Structure 1
Amino acid sequence: MEVTAQKTDNANVKIEGKIAQSDIEKKIDKIAKQAAKQMKIDGFRPGKAPVSVVKKRLGERLQQDAEAEALRDILNEASKELALDAEQIIGEPAVTKFDRGEEFIDVELKLSLRPEIEIGDITDIVPEVKTPRVTKKEVEERIREMAEAQAPFESIEEERGLQEGDLAVFDFEGFLDGEPFEGGKAENFELRIGSGQFIPGFEEQMIGMKKGEEKTIKVTFPEDYRNEKLAGKETEFKIKLHDIKTKKPAQIDDALAQRMLGKEDATLADLEKEVKEQIRSEKLSKLYNEELKPKLVEALVEKFEFDLPQSVVDQEIEMALRNKVQQMTEEELAELRDNEEKVKELRESLREDAEKSVKATFIVDALARKEGVEVGDQEMMQTIYYEAMSMGQDPQQTFEYYQKQNLLPAIKMAMIEDRLLTKLLNDKKEKKEEKTEAKEEA
């Protein structure tokens, strides 16, 4: 076996090798002998079948296993030659050439290496964080919303029709083609008119109804409704309105603060202080996510220069290409199918963004190691479960889907990136605040 290996740059390796066919035959014999000890073949005692019979039975599989073992030998030899350890190698090697000849198999492999990034002081490129200002008006509006949400509903005494914002208490029964359908009936149901809780047109047709009034309305279920028997179908609902309730005027006082903060001695001033900090935190989070984090990532990508593993870039391009294709019309897809050059142009147009994305990922990984930022598997799983539940999805099914699609590493890296960038921005913010405090004390 002949092997030559060279680094084309600091992140990519090209390996060339020659595998003698005689070596493949020796490996086939060795693998067949090992298999013979385990195989049960009719007419022979367990583990006693002749190697020739085993070879005939396994056929092409032996050839494939022998060639795969030879490729591993080449990879190991190249790793020794270049003094590479397992942590430096990313993914599986790409076999770019495998030409079988009578005496030799000519092989070419391409190997990707983890880039080496020297991380120094990056304080100068971390954006300045200005603590968001919260106005008295914003605090008052938020507390008023909280008070209104807490205010109870009470039956109205006046004789008037149902209005948007009212709470309707009513019975209803749905009919499809004159027959009642499953799940279409309820008694003393409470519905906030204007909430959009029911299918389009239902709540609007209830407006104006008075207590004790009965009415039949017609509504059409959406085409994408989850119950296929009702999707896109016109139905009738018989309704009887029992009561109309409206919210009591909101009371903004110490009692509200005590309910909201869960403290018996809380005051309205305590609630105002808490709400002010809450709004400031929300503004800061928005500032981080929409402005400062993208700005910091861009600055990091510009600051560091290093070679990128080509296989990782190619994977990123392919993923971007698949996403692009999914958004195309049938006409655009047809044009791509008939034009290989256009596919190549599209793929190359995605290269720059793919390289930036890969570069950012390696920078974040190196910085996270330096800053000691980690995300455990259990924490990642809990985050996936929580998000799935908040969206009404099955948490276990969601996790298994991500697992099958091999998306868990990307999810973990996204969580690490978010935590790292938050830490860098917070550190910059705290240092600025410390300097400000020191000046004020002086």
Structure 2
Amino acid sequence: MPRILAPLLSAATYVRWLHLAVGWVFSGVVLMVYPGTYGFSLGGIVLRAVPADVALLVLVAMLPAMRRAEGVQARLLLMPEREEDIATEPARTWADRRRTAVWLVGRTALGTAVGILSVLVPAAAFDLLFRSEPRPPGGLELPAGDGLSWYPLLAPALLFAFGWLVVWAGRLQLAMARRLLGPSPAERLAAAELRAERLLERNLLARELHDSIGHALTVTVIQAGAAREVGDAAFVAKALEVIEDTGRKAMEDLERTLVLLRDTGEPGAVRGPGATPGAPGAGDARERPGIEQLPGLFDTARSAGSPVEAWIDVPSGRLPGVLSREGYRIVQEGVTNALKYAPGEPISVRVTLRDDRLELRCANALGGAVASARGTPRRGGKGLRGIRERAVLLGGEASAGAESGEWVLAVRVPLRLGA
């Protein structure tokens, strides 16, 4: 019973009824102007009024603003679950105008039918309740006789049926609006591409924050803990210097990311890792660290107590800027993971530029306690997922796992995107 009565008590039903009544009012106004209601039979009125209504509606639908006005009204009165199902943009193509014309004609026809019944059905219910000779709509004749006393019982059933007619008419009107006023397939595709682009932008920014700030916090925690344990004044001074330098670099990275966040008002304002320096939304790509800044990163790791052996075989000027920046972030994440999960263990890094690809390898020894406690550590973490995403975006591949007592991160990316 609640499921049967709920739609009849819903506010959406009566708001949609109001939307249907607007079409009926429009049809009535046109009827008063042409052909009028005097001197014609019902069939004659219909034959003259319908062509006039349709011609006027089709003519009005040619105005681009009409589609926008109908979309706004449909959103307000038809109450769709998702507003984006009904567009509020003006017509841009002839296909949009044709769909708007079909919508106006269909909306007016349905609204007129429901509007006429909105007058006839309550009047018939009143007759059944209070008149001695009830006259139902449509000219139907009820049997006469002593059985007239049960006719008032038909009034609630008639009103109930009409209520559900309004419910289904409103739902039909909403379905028509989604179909005829909703975005076209091309517009839906463009909206999906825009959503995907914005999601990619947010993921890129989140990855930048994770890599830079995560590395800075890891180094800071390790340095602070080591300084507290050692207690040597010279070591403490060096640790504070490293913490200060690391914090300053993290603040610079954070500021660059915040600048990108402030500039995301326009679609595509934030470019991906391959943004061209100086292009709109590219930010300060030229100031972002690259492969040439790796020695400073290694010095920070060494100061945190982890020996680092590095081989960087990249001729100057041979590596594209985007690969240099992304290569730095990948190595930074590898070193950060080594400091976090195997502090104090040796780290080896190899960066090699081949004829057609860039190869990055970061390995750290797994101590017995760490290996036995964690088995295969770090699998599926956000940092490793970010590395894989960077490699895929650059057209390459990444792998990570335990090999012969070491945790090895290996990344290979082509020198040319799409190679």
TM-score under structure 1 length normalisation: 0.20
Greater per-residue strand proportion: 1
Greater per-residue helix proportion: 2
The structure whose Rg is larger is 2
| Larger RCO: 1 or 2 (CA < 8 Å, sep 6+) | 1
